């Protein structure tokens, strides 16, 4: 949606000025009236009349001012853009000649200026963003349309978050309200279940069907486990079955008590068993869905709920492949993961992988590119980011200082590269993960 086109070519009714002039006119009228009454009569009656008129004048002023402000607000963006076109000479004038009679009845050639061409803008506004579209109409202004970042930012006094240069227009995304971090210790911010959408805070909504599989990377202490715990609750809240592989046997592994022994693994053998279980389930789902084929359907149409295979610290597991036998095990698990990554979406089976460091041995780039949501927590080198985001690595990397902050890239979000993001804030003192989990099971 790009809204109505704004240019100098349209006749433009300046209601704000009309209102203002009308108001001045009314005020003069009131004053003249008061003076007349004052001069022509005397006594208590005239005093009362003048007071009354003054009262009415104040009332009219108040009402009109309110109305005027409403108009100003409603037309604010349009007015600013019209001003912008004028102030930056983003229009062309021509001269129009016409034959007219003068007051003696003689024909005369009259020349008048008119606007022959103008840059065209449109806009869209949400609570968080103002997107200004500068249209490229293959005219004198086309080249300029991609160079308005500074000007538009100054025009509205808002920072430009992103510029998207398309074939026929340039989008300027101006930030009205900076994105806010989700605070999980605040009950009202615990997301309401709305289909499979998960609010990740900071203006990001994640849906596994639109964007299957998640990669979370970051050094020790960067917040991987805290974020994964948050996601676990969100998955379970959406009726998903969760399998957990935790080769470091940290907090996640200890959830077997609540989620079930058979779904949680910490040893290589057990991890292989869990992955096998998930792959088998995926094959069964496919077999069933093929036997009951419905064109364009997915798992939800067959009443399957999502399955999440959560694999924390994948690098640690791969490093466990030291002898021939354990290497085989690692290969088997990686092969299973690969199948889930490539084929899981249709059958509702997704994986969430965390790793400290990514390299070609952890996951090759083909597989990596099939992980729809990729997050790098904590500060990283630009080579490190490149391993995670590939061509979506931003040129300028913002400073990352907050705990749990990092860069996020979501396929299909329209963003060209990874951007700054803060993971949902979990106040360990207030938030009881196990208690929340128990409520859901
Ligand atoms: N989203 C967050 N909200 C609040 N504290 C966080 C968050 N992420 C990380 N932390 C803090 O950082 C510590 C380490 O996070 P953790 O998830 O264990 O790191 P990792 O698993 O990457 O080694 C946590 O114990 C917590 O104190
Ligand atoms: Mg951890």
CATH number of residue 263's parent domain: 3.40.50.300
Please indicate, yes or no, whether residues 112 and 150 belong to a single structural domain of this protein: yes
Please indicate, yes or no, whether residues 375 and 247 belong to a single structural domain of this protein: yes
Q: Which of 143, 175, 207 is the last residue of a domain?
A: 175
Q: Which of 23, 57, 84 is the last residue of a domain?
A: 84
240 pocket-lining for ligand 1 (C-beta < 6 Å)? no
DSSP class of residue 335? H
Distance 71 CA to ligand 1 centre (A): 49
Pick the ligand that lies closest to the CA of residue 250: 2
Decide if 182 is inside a domain.
no
Of all atoms in ligand 1, which is nearest to the CA of residue 222?
22
Decide if 8 is inside a domain.
no
> Which segments in the chain show pLDDT lower than 70?
1-2, 12, 187-194
Please indicate, yes or no, whether residues 154 and 220 belong to a single structural domain of this protein: no
Decide if 133 is inside a domain.
yes
pLDDT of residue 127: 77
pLDDT of residue 360: 78
Please indicate, yes or no, whether residues 295 and 418 belong to a single structural domain of this protein: yes
178 pocket-lining for ligand 1 (C-beta < 6 Å)? no
**Residue with CA closest to ligand 1 atom 4:** 426
Which of 198, 215, 204 lies closest to 385, judged by CA? 215
Please indicate, yes or no, whether residues 242 and 130 belong to a single structural domain of this protein: no
Strand 405-410 relative to strand 419-422: parallel, antiparallel, unpaired? antiparallel
CA of residue 36 relative to chain centroid, distance = 62
Please indicate, yes or no, whether residues 34 and 72 belong to a single structural domain of this protein: yes
User: Is 3 within any annotated ligand binding site?
Assistant: no
Neighbours of ion ligand 2 (CB under 5 A): 224-225
20 pocket-lining for ligand 1 (C-beta < 6 Å)? no
**Residue with CA closest to ligand 1 atom 14:** 221
* Calculated CA dihedral for residues 214, 217, 223, 229, nearest 10 degrees: 30
| Tokens linked to 78 | 């349009």
User: Is 224 within any annotated ligand binding site?
Assistant: yes
Best residue among 403, 422, 427, 429 to mutate for probing ligand 1, ranked by most atoms within 8 Å of CB: 403
**Residue with CA closest to ligand 1 atom 27:** 428
pLDDT of residue 431: 85
How many whole angstroms separate alpha carbon 339 and alpha carbon 352?
14
Pick the ligand that lies closest to the CA of residue 249: 2
238 pocket-lining for ligand 1 (C-beta < 6 Å)? no
425 pocket-lining for ligand 1 (C-beta < 6 Å)? yes
Please indicate, yes or no, whether residues 409 and 391 belong to a single structural domain of this protein: yes
Q: How many domains does the chain have?
A: 3
pLDDT of residue 374: 97
68 pocket-lining for ligand 1 (C-beta < 6 Å)? no
pLDDT of residue 363: 84
Best residue among 221, 224, 251, 406 to mutate for probing ligand 1, ranked by most atoms within 8 Å of CB: 221
Please indicate, yes or no, whether residues 407 and 261 belong to a single structural domain of this protein: yes
435 phi and psi angles, rounded to 5 deg: -60, -40
Pick the ligand that lies closest to the CA of residue 314: 2
How many whole angstroms separate alpha carbon 409 and alpha carbon 377?
12
What Cα–Cα distance (Å) separates residue 32 from each residue in 3, 65, 167, 348, 404? Answer: 46, 21, 60, 78, 68
Q: What is the largest CA-CA distance in the chain?
A: 115
223 pocket-lining for ligand 1 (C-beta < 6 Å)? yes
pLDDT of residue 429: 83
pLDDT of residue 318: 92
Please indicate, yes or no, whether residues 132 and 192 belong to a single structural domain of this protein: no
**Residue with CA closest to ligand 1 atom 9:** 223
How many whole angstroms separate alpha carbon 309 and alpha carbon 315?
16
Distance 238 CA to ligand 2 centre (A): 24
315 pocket-lining for ligand 1 (C-beta < 6 Å)? no
Decide if 10 is inside a domain.
no
pLDDT of residue 179: 82
Decide if 9 is inside a domain.
no
Beta strands, E only, 42-101? 91-101
Decide if 19 is inside a domain.
yes
How many whole angstroms separate alpha carbon 246 and alpha carbon 254?
9
**Residue with CA closest to ligand 1 atom 5:** 426
404 pocket-lining for ligand 1 (C-beta < 6 Å)? yes
pLDDT of residue 190: 62
Please indicate, yes or no, whether residues 274 and 370 belong to a single structural domain of this protein: yes
221 pocket-lining for ligand 1 (C-beta < 6 Å)? yes
pLDDT of residue 242: 96
Decide if 30 is inside a domain.
yes
Decide if 1 is inside a domain.
no
Within 10 Å of residue 438's Cβ, how many Cβ atoms? Answer: 10
Please indicate, yes or no, whether residues 279 and 354 belong to a single structural domain of this protein: yes
Please indicate, yes or no, whether residues 278 and 409 belong to a single structural domain of this protein: yes
How many whole angstroms separate alpha carbon 239 and alpha carbon 237?
5
Distance 225 CA to ligand 2 centre (A): 4
Please report the DSSP string for 371-399 in residue order: -SEEEEES---HHHHHHHHGGG--SSPPP
378 pocket-lining for ligand 1 (C-beta < 6 Å)? no
**Domain region containing 73:** 15-84
How many whole angstroms separate alpha carbon 41 and alpha carbon 144?
66
Q: Which of 31, 54, 84 is the last residue of a domain?
A: 84
């Amino acid at each position: 949606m790009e809204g109505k086109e704004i240019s100098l070519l349209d006749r433009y009714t300046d209601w704000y000025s009309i209102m203002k002039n009308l108001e001045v006119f009314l005020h003069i009228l009131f004053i003249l009236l008061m003076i007349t009454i004052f001069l022509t009569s005397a006594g208590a009656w005239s005093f009362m009349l003048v007071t009354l008129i003054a009262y009415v004048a104040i009332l009219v002023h108040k009402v009109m001012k309110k109305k005027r402000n409403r108009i100003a607000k409603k037309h604010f963006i349009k007015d600013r853009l019209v001003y912008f076109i004028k102030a930056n000479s983003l229009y062309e004038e021509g001269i129009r000649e016409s034959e007219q009679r003068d007051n003696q009845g003689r024909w005369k050639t009259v020349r008048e200026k008119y606007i022959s061409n103008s840059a065209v803008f449109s806009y869209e506004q949400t609570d968080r963003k103002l997107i200004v579209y500068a249209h490229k109409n293959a005219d004198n202004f086309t080249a300029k349309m991609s160079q308005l970042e500074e000007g538009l930012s100054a025009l509205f006094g808002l920072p430009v978050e992103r510029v998207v240069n398309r074939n026929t227009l340039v989008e300027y995304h101006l930030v009205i309200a900076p994105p806010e971090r989700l605070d999980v210790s605040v009950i009202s911010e615990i997301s309401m279940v709305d289909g499979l959408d998960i609010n990740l805070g900071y203006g990001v909504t994640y849906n596994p069907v639109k964007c299957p599989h998640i990669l979370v990377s970051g050094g020790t202490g960067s917040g991987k486990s805290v974020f994964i715990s948050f996601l676990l609750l969100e998955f379970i809240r959406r009726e998903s079955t969760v399998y957990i592989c935790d080769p470091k046997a940290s907090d996640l592994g200890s959830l077997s008590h609540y989620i079930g022994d058979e779904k949680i693994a910490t040893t290589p053998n057990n991890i292989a068993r869990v992955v096998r279980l998930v792959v088998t389930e995926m094959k069964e789902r496919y077999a069933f869905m093929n036997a009951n084929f419905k064109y364009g359907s997915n798992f939800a149409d067959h009443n399957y709920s999502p399955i999440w295979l959560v694999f924390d610290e994948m690098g640690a597991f791969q490093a466990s492949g030291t002898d021939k036998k354990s290497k085989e095990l690692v290969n088997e698990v990686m092969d299973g993961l690969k199948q889930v990554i490539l084929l899981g979406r249709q059958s509702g089976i997704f994986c969430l992988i965390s790793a400290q460091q990514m390299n070609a041995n952890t996951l090759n780039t083909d597989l990596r590119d099939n992980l729809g949501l990729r997050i790098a927590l904590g500060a990283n080198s630009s080579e490190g980011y490149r391993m995670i985001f590939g061509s979506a690595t931003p040129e300028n990397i913002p400073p990352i200082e907050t705990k749990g902050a990092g860069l996020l890239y979501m396929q299909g979000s329209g963003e060209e590269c990874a951007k700054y993001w803060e993971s949902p804030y979990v106040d360990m003192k207030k938030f009881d993960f196990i208690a929340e989990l128990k409520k859901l099971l």
